[in-house]
Structure 1
Amino acid sequence: MDIKDLFLTPVYLLFIYAVAFMINNRIRNKVIRPYFIPALNVKIIGAIALGLIYQFYYYGGDTYNYFKDSKVIWEAFLDSPFKAISIIFTDRQYDPSIYEYVRRIYFYVDPNSFHVVRLSGFFGLFTFHTYSLIAIFFAITCFSGMWALYKVFYDLYPHLHKKLAYAIFFIPSVFFWGSGLLKDTITLGALGWMFHAFYFGIIKRQHIVTNIVVMSLAILVVQGIKVYILLCFLPAAFFWIFMEYRARIRSGLLRFITLPIVIAISIPISYRAITKITEENTRYQLDNITATTKTTAEWLRTVGTSQGGSVYSLGEFDGTWTNMISKAPVAINVSLYRPYLWEARNPVMILSALEAAFFLFLTVRIFLQIKLSRLFHILTSQPILLFCIIFALTFSFAVGVSSYNFGTLVRYKIPMMPFFLSALYIIQSQAIKKKKKKRRDPFMAAQPNDVIVTT
C-alpha cells in the first residue's frame, strides 16, 4: 500500500456505500435487511486489514505477489487497452503480441493462481491499480456470494436469522482470510453462489435456467482455482438431492429402507462427476490425489518449519489411500477443533484457537443435550443438515490431511466453517425445541378449544 491508497480509497468507498445503501433500502425482508451493511462492513475491513497484516507483519506474501503480477496488466493497459484485455482473457498459449508482458508475470505458469491475477488486473483497470481498492472489490465479490448463501439458510430457518448471520458473516477467520486479494476470497464467494443456485434451482426448482447458468459459472470458477472444494461439494450435493426425494416418502419404514439405496446411488454418481471434473487436472485425479496430498503436506510442513510457523503432525504418511483414510479422524479433528488454545503462538493463531474452542464447545454441548437416535433423526429428516455435515467433514479431512501447518490450515478451512457452524446452530435449536416441548406446561400447551380438567 502507498499514498495512492490513502487518497483514492475514501473516494471509492463513498461511491461503494452509496450503492450499498441503495441496495439495502430495496431489500424487502425487514428481518435480514439489518445484516446487509454490517456484513459488508466486516468484509471491507477484513480486506484492508489483511493487506496491512501482510505488509507490516508478514512483509509480503501471496496477496502482494498477485498484486505485483497484475501490475503488468495495468502497464499493458497504459500502452494499449487491447493488450490488457488480451492478457486478462488469454488462453495462455503463445501470443507474440503480449509475450513481452506475460513473461514478467510470475504466476503465468500456474493456471490456478493466474486466475487471481486476471481478476486483480481487471479490477485494477477501474481503480488505477490501487491495492486497497482491488482488495475491496475482491471482498465485495465474495460478499455477494456470502449474502446468497445466507438467503438459503434463512429461507429454511428464518427463526435462526441472527445465529445464521453470525455463522456466515461474522466468523473472524472467514471475514479476514476470505476478504483480501487471495484465492480464498474468490472461491468462497463462488461457493456461496453455487450453493444458492443449487438450492433454489435444483432443490426448489425456481428459475431453473437462470440458476443452472449461475451454478455452472460458479463451478467453473471453483474448478479453475481450487478444484478440491468442488470435489467435496458434489458428493454432498448429490446426496442432498436423493435425500430430498426420500424425505417425501410418507412411510417411515420405507424411508428407512431407502437410506442405504440412496447412499449406494450417490457414491457412483459422485465418483463419475469427480472423474469428469478432474480430467484436465491430473494432480486431483483419484489415481494421483494421494501423491498430491503427500507432496503438499510435506512442502507446507517444510515451509512452516523453516519460517518458525506452527506445524502439526498426523504421523507418517506413505501416500497410499489406506494410510490417508486411516488419518481421517485426526485430520478432521485438526481442521474443526485445533489449534488448541495452548498451541497458539501468535495473535492470528490465538484467534483461530478461540474459534476452534467455540466449535468444540458447541459440539460437546449438542451431544450432551441430545441422544444419538434423536440426532440421527434430525440429520436424516433435514437434508440440508446432512449436506452441511458431509461437506464440512470431507472438506476438513481434505485440508487437515494436506496442510500440516496451522498457519495455512486457518486459511484453507474457511469454506467449510459457515456450513459447519450453521449446522451446529440448527441442530442445537432442534434439541432446545424438543426440550421445551417436553417441559411445556399443560395449561400453556392447551389450544383455545381444549378443555382442561383440574381437581
Structure 2
Amino acid sequence: MMPLLYLLNVLLLLGLGLQLHKQAWAKALQPYMLPALGLKLLCGVLLGVLYFHYYGEGDTITYFNASQKLTQLAHENSGAYWRLLLFNQFPSETFRATVPFTQFADFSNSFFLLKVLSLFNLLTGSSYYLIGLYFSLFSFWGMARLAATLSFVFPDTKKAAILALLFFPSVVFWSSGLLKDAVLMGSMCWVMASVLQLAHGQKQTIVTWLLLPLQLYLFVKIKIFFAALLLSLLTCYLVLKVLSRTIKPLQALKVQLLILAGFMALAIVTVWQISGIFSFDFIAEQLFKTYKGLLALSLGRPHLHYSSLQPTLASIVLNAPKAFFSAIYRPFIGESSEVLYLLLGLENLLLAVLTTIAIVSASSKIWLQKIELWHIILVLFIVASAIVVGISTPNFGTLSRYRIIFLPFLVYLLLQNRFAQRQLAKLR
C-alpha cells in the first residue's frame, strides 16, 4: 500500500510541475524554468539530509515529529482532529500538553504549520521528503511567478530577477523543503507578483483572484510583522500606479516619493499612538527577547553581539546600522572554519563585491535604467527587514536562513547596473 501511495504522490508532483511549466507566465523564464525547478526540488531533499544527518536536530525535524501527533489523532478520532484543525479545539488538556507550540495556538505560526503538515502526512503517508518536495514546489511557484512578472514589467532586468529569485544559493536552499520559510517565500512572492500585475495593468484570471485571499492568508499567518510592513508598501505602490494612469502629475517620481513619504509618516505616527502587538514598545521588546533567546543558544559558536542592546526603540535605532550591515555581510570568511560558515562567508563576499560594483556604477552614472518607485519600495523593505533580522538573530546559521525574506530583492537591485548586466548577458 505504501509504495503505491508514494508512486501516486510522485506522479502528482510531476503533474503539478508540468502544469507550472505550461503556465503562460512561465514562457518568460525559458530556458531557465526547468533547471531552476530541478534545483529547487533537489534543495528540498538536501535540506532534510542536512538536518537529519549533519545537525541531528532543528526546526524541520521538530515540526515533522510534532505533526505526527495530530496525524495520529486523525486516525484515532477524525471528528476531534477536524475540530482541532478548524477551531483549535483540543480533545483534552493532556493531549494539548504533548504537542509543542500550543500555548498560544490561535496566534502561533508554528502550530499553524503543524496543522498544515498533518494534512500532508495524511496525503503522503507521513513521508518527510515527499512533503519537502510539495513545500519546495509551492515556494518555487510563487518565486518563479514573481521572476516572470518582473521580467515582463522591467524586461531589461529579466536575468537579474531570475538569478536573484531562482538561482542565488542561500535563497534557493533556505526557501526549499519542510520549513516555514518555503511557505513564506512562496506566498509572499505570489502576492508581490499579483500586485505588480495589477499596478501595471495586466489582466488577472478568475483563478488568480480566487487564490489571492489564500496566499495573503498564508503570508500574514506565517510572518505577520513582515506582512504588515510589505503589504502597506505594496498598497501604496498599487494606489499610486493606478492613479497615475489618469492623474498625470502622479507620473513624476518626485511626486510619488513625496506621497510615499507622507504615507510613511502617517503610518509611523499611527503606530506610535497605538498599543498592542503593532506598537513600537511591543516590537522592541519582542526583538530583544528573541535576541536573548537565540544568543543563549549561540555561545561557543560565531555570532553577533550587541553589548548595549536594550528592549527600547532608542536602543534598536542605535544598533540598527550594525544590524543592517551584519544581516547582509556576516559571517566573514575566517570567522569559523566550519564548512557551512565558509560557504556563507563566500556568498557574503560575493554580496560585498556586488555592492561595491553597484556603488561605483551609480557614482559613474552607468546605472542600467532610471530609478522607479518599485525600486524605492524594495529598498525600504530591505532596510527595515535587514534591521529586524539583524537585531533579533545573533546566530549566523539562523541569520542566513531568516534573511532570505529580503536577500533576493537586494541581489536583484545590486544587479541593476550595466557592468553586472553585461556579465549576465553572457550567461546561456
Q: Does 1:300 align with 2:294?
A: yes
Offset from partner CA, 1:402-448 (integer Å, 9 cap, x none): 112211111110111111111122x2149979xxxxxxxxxxxxxxx
Decide whether aligned partners of structure 1 residues 103 and 302 sit closer, same or farther in structure 2, where only a CA change above 3 A counts. closer
Name the residue aligned to 2:374: 384
Contact 1:202 1:208 in 2 (8 A): no
- Give, in whole Å, the separation in 1 of the partners of 2:132 and 2:250: 51
Decide whether aligned partners of structure 1 residues 299 and 174 sit closer, same or farther in structure 2, where only a CA change above 3 A counts. same
Deviates more, 1:30-39 or 1:331-340: 30-39
- Give, in whole Å, the separation in 2 of the partners of 1:253 and 1:30: 30
Deviates more, 1:384-393 or 1:195-204: 195-204
Aligned-pair identity (%) = 23
- Give, in whole Å, the separation in 2 of the partners of 1:24 and 1:34: 11
Name the residue aligned to 1:264: 262
Contact 1:294 1:317 in 2 (8 A): yes
- Give, in whole Å, the separation in 1 of the partners of 2:25 and 2:214: 27
The one of 312, 315, 329 aligned to 2:304: 312
Letter in 2 for 1:422: Y
Offset from partner CA, 1:129-168 (integer Å, 9 cap, x none): 1111111111112111112211221112334333321110
- Give, in whole Å, the separation in 2 of the partners of 1:78 and 1:261: 55
Decide whether aligned partners of structure 1 residues 431 and 129 sit closer, same or farther in structure 2, where only a CA change above 3 A counts. closer
The one of 171, 188, 191 aligned to 2:168: 171
Offset from partner CA, 1:156-192 (integer Å, 9 cap, x none): 2334333321110112212221112111111111111
Query: Residue 34 of structure 1: CA displacement?
Result: 2.5
- Give, in whole Å, the separation in 1 of the partners of 2:25 and 2:232: 34
Deviates more, 1:14-23 or 1:282-291: 14-23
The one of 325, 330, 336 aligned to 1:338: 330
- Give, in whole Å, the separation in 2 of the partners of 1:275 and 1:186: 31
Decide whether aligned partners of structure 1 residues 101 and 142 sit closer, same or farther in structure 2, where only a CA change above 3 A counts. farther
Name the residue aligned to 1:405: 395
Contact 2:198 2:204 in 1 (8 A): yes
The one of 417, 424, 428 aligned to 1:428: 417
| TM-score, normalization by structure 2 | 0.85
Decide whether aligned partners of structure 1 residues 63 and 255 sit closer, same or farther in structure 2, where only a CA change above 3 A counts. closer
- Give, in whole Å, the separation in 2 of the partners of 1:416 and 1:83: 39
Deviates more, 1:286-295 or 1:203-212: 203-212
Query: Residue 207 of structure 1: CA displacement?
Result: 3.0
1:53-452 matches, within 5 Å, as 53-90=50-87, 92-93=88-89, 95-96=90-91, 101-110=95-104, 111-204=108-201, 206-207=203-204, 214-241=211-238, 244=241, 256=254, 259-269=257-267, 282-305=276-299, 308-371=300-363, 378-379=370-371, 382-425=372-415, 427-429=416-418
Decide whether aligned partners of structure 1 residues 36 and 391 sit closer, same or farther in structure 2, where only a CA change above 3 A counts. same
- Give, in whole Å, the separation in 1 of the partners of 2:96 and 2:376: 45
Offset from partner CA, 1:100-142 (integer Å, 9 cap, x none): 6444212222522111101111111110011111111111121
When Rg is computed on C-alpha atoms for both structures, the one with the higher figure is 1
- Give, in whole Å, the separation in 2 of the partners of 1:231 and 1:388: 15
- Give, in whole Å, the separation in 1 of the partners of 2:316 and 2:42: 38
Decide whether aligned partners of structure 1 residues 310 and 10 sit closer, same or farther in structure 2, where only a CA change above 3 A counts. farther
Decide whether aligned partners of structure 1 residues 202 and 244 sit closer, same or farther in structure 2, where only a CA change above 3 A counts. closer
Contact 2:229 2:381 in 1 (8 A): yes
May I ask how many residue pairs the two structures share in their alignment? 417
Query: Residue 275 of structure 1: CA displacement?
Result: 8.9
Name the residue aligned to 2:425: none
Query: Residue 372 of structure 1: CA displacement?
Result: 8.0
Query: Residue 337 of structure 1: CA displacement?
Result: 1.6
- Give, in whole Å, the separation in 2 of the partners of 1:195 and 1:414: 15
Contact 1:43 1:179 in 2 (8 A): yes
- Give, in whole Å, the separation in 2 of the partners of 1:15 and 1:208: 24
Letter in 1 for 2:174: W
User: What's the C-alpha RMSD, in Å, of the aligned pairs?
Assistant: 3.3
| TM-score, normalization by structure 1 | 0.81
- Give, in whole Å, the separation in 1 of the partners of 2:239 and 2:257: 9
Contact 1:183 1:225 in 2 (8 A): yes
Query: Residue 99 of structure 1: CA displacement?
Result: 5.8
Offset from partner CA, 1:252-294 (integer Å, 9 cap, x none): 997546643431134314765x799x98xx4553331111111
Contact 2:171 2:404 in 1 (8 A): yes
Query: Residue 373 of structure 1: CA displacement?
Result: 7.7
Name the residue aligned to 1:20: 17
- Give, in whole Å, the separation in 2 of the partners of 1:21 and 1:241: 32
Decide whether aligned partners of structure 1 residues 209 and 146 sit closer, same or farther in structure 2, where only a CA change above 3 A counts. same
Letter in 2 for 1:128: G
Name the residue aligned to 2:426: none
Letter in 2 for 1:122: L
Contact 2:256 2:373 in 1 (8 A): no
Unpaired runs of 5+ in structure 1?
A: 434-455
Contact 1:198 1:215 in 2 (8 A): no
Query: Residue 242 of structure 1: CA displacement?
Result: 6.0
